[in-house]
Amino acid sequence: MAPKLPPQPPLEHSSAATAGGAAAHHAPPRGMLRWLLTTNHKEIGSLYLIFSLIMFFIGGIFALVVRAELFQPGLQLVNPEFFNQMTTMHGLIMVFAAVMPAFTGLANWMIPLQIGAPDMALPRLNNFSFWLLPVAFLLLLSTLLMPGGGPNFGWTFYAPLSTTFAPPSTTFFILSLHIAGISSILGAINIVATILNMRAPGMRMMDMPLFVWTWLITAFLLIAVMPVLAGVITMMLMDINFGTSFFNAAGGGDPVLFQHLFWFFGHPEVYIMILPAFGIVSAIIPTFARKPLFGYASMVYATASIALLSFLVWAHHMFVVGLPLVAELFFMYTTMLIAVPTGVKVFNWITTLFRGSITFEPPMLFALAFVVLFTIGGFSGLMLAIAPADFQYHDTYFVVAHFHYVLVPGAVFAIMAGVYYWLPKWTGHYPNVRLSQWHFWLSVIGVNLTFFPMHFSGLAGMPRRIPDYALQFADFNLVSSLGAFMFGASQLVFVAVVILCVRGGEKAPAKAWEGAEDLEWSVPSPAPLHTFETPPTFSPHVH
Amino acid sequence: MWSVIKSVLAAFFGVQKERQRRADFETGRPVVFIAVGVVMTLVLIGLVALVATLAAR
Amino acid sequence: MRTLLVWVAGCWTLAGLSPLALANGWNMPVGVTDLSREIYSLHMTIFWICVAIGVVVFGVMFYSLFRFRRSRGAKADNFHENTTVEVLWTAIPLLILVGMAVPATATLVKMYDASDAELDVMITGQQWRWRYEYLGEDVAFTSNMSTPRAQIRGEEARGEHYLLEVDEPLVLPTNRKVRFLMTADDVIHSWWVPDLAVKQDTIPGFINENWVNIDEPGIYRGQCAELCGMDHGFMPIVVHAMEGEEFDEWLAERKEAAAEEALGVDRDWELDELMERGEAVYGSICASCHQAEGQGAPPAFPSLAGNERLIEDVEWHVQTIVNGVSGTAMPAFRSTLNPVEIAAVATFTRNAWGNDTGDAVQPSEIAEQLAQ
Amino acid sequence: MSHEDHDARSRNPGVRRTVVRSVAALIGMFAFAFALVPLYDVFCRVTGINGKVDNTAQAVVHEGVDDSRYVTVQFITRGSSGLPWRMEVETRQVRVHPGQTSEVNFTFRNQSAEANWGRAVPSVSPSRASRHLRKVSCFCFDEQYLEAGERLELPLVFQLARDLPPDVNTVTLVYTLYPVTDARAPLRAQVTAGKGDEA
């Protein structure tokens, strides 16, 4: 998740080598300034990943406060007001500060290497969009210390709880989301410009690896959807401070309008968080099964159609808000129609395994765990699509279990698999296998211990976002809390693996994994700061 | 034009042959595919809305 | 090799757990209405379909992982496309889902038909309690959580229905169609009783409609299902369903009690009578914000103990209770408390915790002001 | 990798074109988010979703009274915090034929010691019936101004369209009183004051 590129060894070696022939090349600035002013996609990628890991731990601590309170019935640890702040901040930090920047970091690192480009299209913009993030999320975290407390209205910040009845720090919450939104938008523009214009000669759109394809679609989704989020929070700002009533029934507004606008952004957002994961897993499984990805064309086409279909399903988050019957049916049908072509992509990975020659290095372990556990999340998603049944599932822990299964063993495991897969390329060393396996098994057991009982507490009737619960939910929550602490602790093992891997470990050749075929493996490991100065000749091979 | 529509339908369904993919990428221009995709999405909205209104009656 | 076995064992226990889901308390309640049973069967159908697909999919996956291990000398094949297989495994789930859509649509259409109900009940979600009004019967009351705060803090043993008990349950007749009109006074809440399979958001400024026809008498408990602020987890719902005749008797009784309460407005009340009644009203409604000892939680909830403005200006004090304060969590109690309760709680707050102003606010004054 | 090469790459025409197109798309989507607000309002009015009722007076349509069926129209009035008014309706419910015009009186009483502005926000249930409810004249069309202690009786004249779906036999019309935030009230005050001060 966070390869700390050692400041010294690989850079000196690479810049010295490449600078040999060039004219007087001014040495890069030293120390902190170098990271502040870097326009190199590898350094910015590492910055994104380090930032994302730190935020992953902060969001994780908020989650552990929530789980510690829910360990037993009764209020032992926090008052309900602070508990709501913890659930809200956990959601916001994990979605906007941990998962999205992690994928952006992997994109910054790997897209130029996979398409044979020397760097991103707009390097200075790349630096700017990274350094917006620490600003945005320091501001967001500082709202916890403001009078009236931080945001306590859930990461979905429904009006009027988030407008008329919100704490005074809400304006800062809106400012921080604006800044984070701008950072994602600039990142997306950068990625689209790079992929469309800077591929190595000979590499046509159709020869691009799937990770690049999924990120191209994700970038288009980001460009289409982030402005809608910016619009919604601007309307919120005007409702709170300038006396408009977009979402205030008193002035002719409508709180349900907020939910429509938010989820019109919200659902493509969850696809933004899972498509890059599809890309990563589609790179890893063929490598370790030593067999080309099954149905590459179908994967590309299905991902492309998701970019359009994901805009038709948003109101399945609002089945109980009082939609008219026709709208309820419409969104039930569209949700079913889109769930199938997306879900069956899992079968492509499994068929890639069929009659392959499989080995179980750490990246493969995480990719396989992704396939199994993400599919379980997908099945609970199918159950939630049945609108009448959703009247019983909505806003209970069954929904919490669903989206955690698609996000934690889904997006987060895919990010970890990506990091394990590309660490040899970044650092020149293999990650320590023994420790990686410890990390894997602790995480898998921790994730299941935490989120599987939530299916049952949700079905049995436990609503979401409550700081205390009736006695019949006690055992499920006990197990969930234990699992949460176990999963949290096992991420420390991950940090150890990464640090050790950066420092040393078994040397990795350029082609670190026997089955790897993409362009990034033609560059030496550790990847020098400047690669593909002269565009590589690319010969398309069959997908 | 018909082949583009067929390709977009295949994309909605999620299955496509490698040969067809190669042909699509070699001949078609991306903006055409996007335009047809948007139009097909509108058609899909109309269809599903129709089914929903009929079912609601 | 060893990792694989442990891995396979882990995943199969997960799949094995699913039959456990049928046990009581682990699964969705079957419920006591036709709709809840239909929803339960939809839930179990889609559940078993998912388990079936899961078993097939994971079976193939683990078989491939086990059979085609490199360490077992598996040579990699090179096939990477077979659109007929892909068409099949997309078409089958699509057909299954379209098949599921038909019964789901039928159930949904039934859920939306709230016509010709015999009883209309208006449910209003407020920050952190529910208010029920039987339309046309002018019986109305507020239902507050009755679990003592001491149990929540762990100072006392927790009762059997911890956090799911109220002082005034919503009483409904069985085998009669009851139509719910739902709205909220402040933020979005959601009225949910799992056994009745009714969940509906209550949106401030808008009216939502739902209905229920309960088959069996009994007590059914539920909770607010939409985040609504500090005490979102502490505004339970208790529905007490009873036979039709029993319900009519109860309704008549309540109407009488309401009328009697209205009569009681004109006579002069003793200070301690008002204090005792006021303490009960304060405990169930005001304590959740202004705290049991009236110290409040500034800045959100002002302290009442030793509040000079309250002590000096009885007019402003009563005004605030009757009309609330716009844009804050202080609701208007004009339509939720009757004159006796308003007078009693005003008197109590003016004389408790050392505020002893000694004056008793008479219900007749409040009634006259309201009727003005 | 000197800075000139950086600039050379970003001046590559393809990159510039993509950036321009992306920024255009961004501005378009941001405008689209704000355009959704009026779009939502129009869509709700047309399809009657969410019980939104048209807040403009509609003429009576003389389409004859369908006396084959009765529809019960219920009225509910609700106050809200911050507006010391009391609102009552003379009759809790009326039974009307679709197509028949009827009138119901609502009384407003300002119970506070100073004059203020208030507005009644309507909502109809079931929401599919709101499209068939024509309000000829209604106090909810605009903000009301009441002096301290003033009592005001205002009529609601409405007509249920004949094409009201047959399965709808009860329509509930709920009015919620809301204070008009002072941001707008003084504006209205000059308007009425100008018209002579008996207000």
The partner residues of A268 in beta bridges, in order of sequence, read none
Can you read off the two tokens belonging to residue A310? Answer: 């994901």
Which pLDDT does position C372 carry in this prediction? Answer: 62
Higher pLDDT, C12 or A353: A353
Closest Cα in chain D, distance from residue C325 (Å): 5
- For A383-397, the pLDDT digits (tens) are 999 999 999 999 999
Which pLDDT does position A31 carry in this prediction? Answer: 82
As a whole number of angstroms, the distance between CA D18 and CA D21 comes to 5
In chain B, domain spans: 2-56
Same domain, C125 and C35: no
Closest Cα in chain C, distance from residue B44 (Å): 16
Whether the per-residue pLDDT at D183 is higher than 60: the answer is no
Whether the per-residue pLDDT at A278 is higher than 50: the answer is yes
User: For residue A8, what pLDDT band results from cuts at 50, 70 and 90?
Assistant: very low
Higher pLDDT, A472 or A542: A472
Cβ–Cβ of A468/C58 closer than 8 Å? no
Number of domains in chain C: 3
Which pLDDT does position C327 carry in this prediction? Answer: 66
Instruction: Provide the whole-model pTM.
Output: 0.90
Whether the per-residue pLDDT at C20 is higher than 60: the answer is no
Whether the per-residue pLDDT at D26 is higher than 70: the answer is yes
Mean of pLDDT values over C130-153: 90
Closest Cα in chain C, distance from residue B56 (Å): 6
Q: Which domain holds residue C89?
A: 2-111
Whether the per-residue pLDDT at C14 is higher than 70: the answer is no
Q: How high is the mean pLDDT of chain A?
A: 90
Same domain, C250 and C279: no
Higher pLDDT, C78 or C222: C222
List, in order of start, the domains of chain A with CATH numbers. 41-522 (1.20.210.10)
Q: How many CB atoms lie within 10 A of CB A247?
A: 26
Assess B16–C contact: CB distance below 8 Å, yes or no. yes
Mean of pLDDT values over D108-121: 84
- Superfamily for the D54-194 domain: Ctag/Cox11 (2.60.370.10)
Closest Cα in chain B, distance from residue C173 (Å): 29
Cβ–Cβ of A308/B41 closer than 8 Å? yes
Q: What angle do CA C52, A316, C32 make, to 5 degrees?
A: 70
What is the DSSP secondary structure assignment for residue A535, as one 8-state letter?
A: P
User: For residue A475, what pLDDT band results from cuts at 50, 70 and 90?
Assistant: very high
* B contact test, residue of C79, C80, C81, C82 with most B CBs within 10 A: C81
As a whole number of angstroms, the distance between CA A213 and CA A207 comes to 10
Same domain, C132 and C246: yes
Write out chain C residues lying below 8 Å of B14, CB-based: 86, 90
Which pLDDT does position A9 carry in this prediction? Answer: 35
Whether the per-residue pLDDT at A25 is higher than 60: the answer is no
Q: How many CB atoms lie within 10 A of CB B54?
A: 10
Mean of pLDDT values over C77-105: 88
User: For residue C272, what pLDDT band results from cuts at 50, 70 and 90?
Assistant: confident
Q: Which of A204, A308, A333 is facing B25, going by the closest CB pair?
A: A204
* Report for A193-202, A288-297, A452-461, C68-77: range of highest mean pLDDT: A452-461
Q: How high is the mean pLDDT of chain C?
A: 86
Mean of pLDDT values over C66-70: 87
Query: Which residue type sits at D143?
Result: E
Same domain, C223 and C191: yes
Same domain, C252 and C315: no
Residue of B nearest to A313 (CA): B45
User: For residue A464, what pLDDT band results from cuts at 50, 70 and 90?
Assistant: very high
Domain boundary among C95, C111, C127: C111
Which pLDDT does position A24 carry in this prediction? Answer: 37
Cβ–Cβ of D82/C323 closer than 8 Å? yes
Q: The domain spanning residue C367 has which CATH number?
A: 1.10.760.10
User: For residue C173, what pLDDT band results from cuts at 50, 70 and 90?
Assistant: very high
Same domain, C205 and C296: no
Contact indicator for C347, C278 with CB cutoff of 8 Å: yes
Q: How high is the mean pLDDT of chain D?
A: 79
DSSP-based three-state secondary structure for A319? coil
* A477-491, C1-15, D146-160, D169-183, range with the lowest pLDDT: C1-15
- For C313-333, the pLDDT digits (tens) are 888 888 888 888 776 778 888
Q: How many CB atoms lie within 10 A of CB A27?
A: 10
Whether the per-residue pLDDT at A483 is higher than 80: the answer is yes
Same domain, C147 and C251: yes
Give the sheet arrangement for strand D144-146, strand by strand.
D93-96, D71-78, D170-179, D116-125, D144-146
As a whole number of angstroms, the distance between CA A256 and CA A197 comes to 42
Sign of the torsion formed by the C-alpha atoms of A300, A302, A305 and A309: negative
Same domain, C257 and C271: no
Cβ–Cβ of C64/A332 closer than 8 Å? no
* D contact test, residue of A218, A223, A235, A325 with most D CBs within 10 A: A223
Q: Which residues of A are catalytic, by number?
A: 90, 119, 155, 183-184, 267, 269, 271, 282, 316-317, 342, 345, 464
Predicted complex ipTM: 0.89
Assess C86–B contact: CB distance below 8 Å, yes or no. yes
- For A182-237, the pLDDT digits (tens) are 999 999 999 999 999 999 888 888 788 999 999 999 999 999 999 999 999 999 99
As a whole number of angstroms, the distance between CA A97 and CA A31 comes to 25
Q: Which residues of D touch C (CB under 8 A)?
A: 50-51, 74, 76, 78-84, 86, 92-93, 109, 111-112, 121, 123-127, 149, 167-170, 172, 174, 176, 178-179
Domain boundary among C56, C82, C111: C111
Mean of pLDDT values over A32-40: 90
- For D124-163, the pLDDT digits (tens) are 888 888 888 888 888 877 788 888 888 888 888 888 888 8
Which pLDDT does position B41 carry in this prediction? Answer: 93
Cβ–Cβ of C81/B14 closer than 8 Å? no
Can you read off the two tokens belonging to residue A265? Answer: 């952004």
Q: Is the peptide bond before A524 cis (omega within 30 degrees of 0)?
A: no
Which pLDDT does position C234 carry in this prediction? Answer: 94
